[in-house]
Structure formats: structure tokens, C-alpha cells
Amino acid sequence: MRHPILAASMGVVLAAMGAASAEVPNNTVKIGVLSDFSGPFSDQAGKGSFIAAQMAAEDFAKESKGLKAEIIFADHQNKPDVGSAIARRWVDQENVTAIVDLPNSGVALAVNTIMKEKNRTMLASGSATSDLTGKFCQPTTVQWALDTWALGNAMGRAITERGGKSWYFVSFDYALGKALQRDTAEAVEKQGGKVLGSVSHPLGTSDFSSYLLQAQASGADVIALGDTGADAINAIKQISEFKILSGDKKLAALFMQIVDIDSLGLKAAQGLLLSEPFYWDLNDSTRAWSARFAERMNGRVPTINHAATYSATIAYLRAVQAAQAIDGDKVVAQMQSAEINDPLFGPVRVRKDGRAIHTMFVFEVKKPEESRQRYDYYKLVRTIPAEEAFRPIDKGDCPLVH
């Protein structure tokens, strides 16, 4: 609430007039964007996620038949206790019916339990831990864009196939880092590779020298960064500064987004492989929506989190309208009932474990001379079909599927 750039939009109500519905109190749903507005994930999510949710509510108003949508926001400060307190207040006192975005897997796992208790919907559009659709799956949660299994599967296979057989991990010392490392290691070992070791670092680390020297000393073919946002950017800059990579050694940045590449610059980032389900320049539909987004964001293109927040929010609103209910289990069941034709992610199917299934891609970051303009950063090297991109539903230990 301390961010004046967002405060003016705080109470925006986007509505189409019509008859009230008894099943949806006051014919209104209230969606809270719970995000990082001031920390290491604020560029990936933050204000852009709030804008994306507003865009979804605006677009839904054109077809809403009277159902109204209100979008609010709060900063969870990357603290599970802070995120949990906000979630409880929102549902108990402010009639919030759904929470969206949730970058920071520790916060997401905490809120996941609360939303199940309250029977309200959690749209994990910015959360990456695969445990949300595994052992901690809930009938009230949908995980939209990607997860650590999908990232590990794509990156572990792509880099191992290019000769990276031995790996050393430098990872966040919290839920996301542990899940990224676990799921990528599994993919590497399936491809005949091996993990030589790992080291963990706190969220918000600025000095990576000791961690990187341990990775270098391991002799591994691949140094894998099990982190993202500002931490990953700092690590990659220091890898270059300390000349950690030499010869045929490779860097696996397991969870990078386009704003991270922009911060690094193509000179430092060129040649990096990364996996994403969305890229602003992928097709006519993604370009058109991204242009609308950029108009509100001073020319910045959307990240995965922003696109996923838009898509999950409008899918949720349509499901509420169809189900005529705000109960989380009923709304999620409605989202699972039919394939969703999404303009940003293509055909999407929500499984029983809450995992939204769609195509994933592997991109390579362009060389500076290959880029035509700012944000023209990726070239497509592999398309992963939806049925291969995500963990098989019977392998995640989700109690909802047994």
C-alpha cells in the first residue's frame, strides 16, 4: 500500500450493468493481486500483474452479462506470514473471492492452505513450485503458467543434449530453489547426466562470489542457477566478471524472464537457453495483447507472470459466470470442465490436480547483432507439446487424483 504509482488504481471497479445474481453476492467478484511490488520479483510481476488483471476485468466486462469485477492489490514482501495475513483479511473482511499472481513459492504454499480453508479460489499465475499440483494440491487452486517440473524438464533435457552431462546447482534457500533443483536434477539424471553438488543462498543475495567459486571448483560441465529475478541477474553478471565459465562449460539459468534478459543486456545474456510458455513476439495474438499492455507500462513488454495473470483472471471470471458461484471448489471444477481457448497460451486444459496444461517453448537468447529492437531477444529452438511439457498427473502425489 506504500506505492503511490499504484494507489490511484487501487479501487478500480470494472463493470457491465445487469440483473443481480443471488449466487454471487451483490453480483460482484473481488480479485486480489498478491504480489511483490518492491523486492526481487517486482519487475517480473508487481505493477504489471495488477495492470494485467485490470485488463482481464475490462475485457470480461464486454461479455459479463452484469457480473462485476473489482481488482485490488497488496505487497506480500516475500514473507509467508505477511502474505497469509493479507489473504485472511481479504477473504474475511473485504470479501475477496480469488487471489492471483503470488510470485514467491513460500508465500504461495501458505496462501494455498488458507484459500482451501475458506473455499475461495487461488490462481497461482506467478508461482513456480510444482508442489502446488503435487503433494500440496487443493481443489481450490489452479496453477497457470509454468512450474519447476516443466522448467527442469525443458532445461535439463535441452542442455544435457548439448553436452552438459555433469551439473552443480546454485539455488535459492527456500521453496522455489529447492523445487527447481529437485525437478531439474531428476530430468538431468533421466538423460544420463549427474549432479556433482549444490549450494544454497538466501533470497536477495548480492555477492555470489563464494557460491560461484564452489561451483567452479566442482569441475561440473554446467553451473545451474536455481533462482530468478534480481538474484539470477546478479549471479550471471558475477559469472562474467569472475570469468567462471571457460572452455566448454555451460550456464543453465533455470528460470529467467524477459525483463531479466533486458536488465542483463544481450552482450551478457546471448546464447542462454530458457524455457517459457509465453513470448510477446510469438504470434499475432501475443503481439496485439502485448502492445495494449505496453501502452500502460511505458513501453515495457509483458512477462510470463503478466500474461498468466491476465489469462487466469479472465478464465476465472468466465468460470464464476458459468457456475454462478464463488465457492473455490465449484469455480475450479468449472474451469476443469472444458478446454480453454486462450489468446496468449493457446489451448489450455486444467487438470484434476489444478495444473493448467499448454504448450511450452525453449528459446535461445539472440546475439546483439541479431536483435532488431529492444525486447527482440529470443529465437525459438524447441516447441514442447502440452502432453509432454508438464509432469504426468499420476507422478505428482496429488491426493485429488487417487
The pLDDT tens digits of the residues spanning 112-165 come to 999 999 999 999 999 999 999 999 999 999 999 999 999 999 999 999 988 999
Do strands 141-143 and 98-101 pair parallel, antiparallel, or not at all (unpaired)?
Answer: unpaired
pLDDT tens readout for residues 198-230: 999 999 999 999 999 999 999 999 999 999 999
At residue 130, the pLDDT reads: 96
What per-residue confidence (pLDDT) applies to 246?
A: 80
Query: DSSP letter at 374?
Result: T
Residues in the chain where the model's pLDDT stays below 50: 1-22
In three-state secondary structure terms, 45 is coil
Q: Which three cell numbers stand for residue 213?
A: 567459486
Q: What is the pLDDT of residue 64?
A: 94
What distance lies between CA 212 and its chain's CA centroid?
26
Q: Which amino acid is at 130?
A: S
Identity of the amino acid at 397:
D
- Look at residue 288 in the predicted model and tell me its pLDDT: 98
Residue 32's φ and ψ, nearest 5 degrees, are -100, 125
**So what's the pLDDT on residue 42?**
96
Q: What whole-number distance in Å separates Cα of residue 390 and Cα of residue 387?
A: 7
Q: Please state the pTM of the whole predicted model.
A: 0.91
Strands 98-101 and 121-124: parallel
Q: Which of 265, 239, 267 is nearest to 252 (CA)?
A: 239
pLDDT at residue 238, rounded to an integer: 95
- Residue 141's beta-bridge partner residues? 122
pLDDT score at 191: 92
| CA–CA distance, 114 with 152 (Å, rounded to integer) | 28
- The confidence score (pLDDT) of residue 1 equals 36
CB count in 10 Å sphere of residue 351: 19
- All structural domains of the chain, each given as residue ranges with its CATH number in brackets, are 4-146+281-358 (3.40.50.2300), 149-276+360-389 (3.40.50.2300)
